[in-house]
Amino acid sequence: MLRVWKAPRRGRCIGLSECPLDLALAYMAHFFSGNISGLRHILAADLSFAGPFHNFHSAEAYLASLEADPPVGCSYEVLSTFENPSAVCLVYRFTKPGVSTTMAQLFEVADGKIQKIRLVFDTGDFGTRR
């Protein structure tokens, strides 16, 4: 993993409370293990999610969508990370049966929670163009 910027930790990052990278990696672990309820404690109530297929303006709406259509049979491999004091971008290889693509996901963090998620990938790899 490559980190372009690394904040001096100086006691600011205690557990998941203030570290964007730690929060993003916790998100990925919960998401790809299918532990959707585990996401609840790391997402801000007013979460903003934007991606090629979906947009959500609350954690509840986002979680309801994931519970209705869970990420089954999916895996990921982190290729790179880019971090600043309030955000982190993960570039990773997403794989599920019949699909393998590179994705970039930006997580913006405030008050120890993920506030915004921006997901970017080529929808053509999923057999559709939007």
pLDDT tens track for 66-113? 999 888 899 999 999 999 999 999 999 999 988 999 999 999 999 999
CA distance 72 to 116: 23
pTM for the whole structure? 0.84
What is the reported pLDDT for 126?
80
- Let me know if residue 109 belongs to a domain: yes
Helix, strand, coil percent content, the chain, rounded in steps of 5:
25, 40, 35
- Let me know if residue 117 belongs to a domain: yes
Question: What pLDDT digit, counting tens, does each position of 18-50 carry?
Answer: 689 999 999 999 999 999 999 999 999 999 999
Residue spans of beta strands (DSSP E) within the chain: 43-50, 55-56, 75-84, 87-96, 99-110, 113-120
What is the reported pLDDT for 15?
52
- Let me know if residue 34 belongs to a domain: yes
Q: Is the pLDDT of residue 127 over 80?
A: no
CATH number for the domain that contains residue 26: 3.10.450.50
At residue 12 the predicted structure's pLDDT band, cuts being 50, 70 and 90, is very low
Name the domain count of the chain: 1
Q: Which residue has the higher pLDDT, 126 or 4?
A: 126
CA distance 22 to 124: 30
Residue 58's domain comprises 20-125
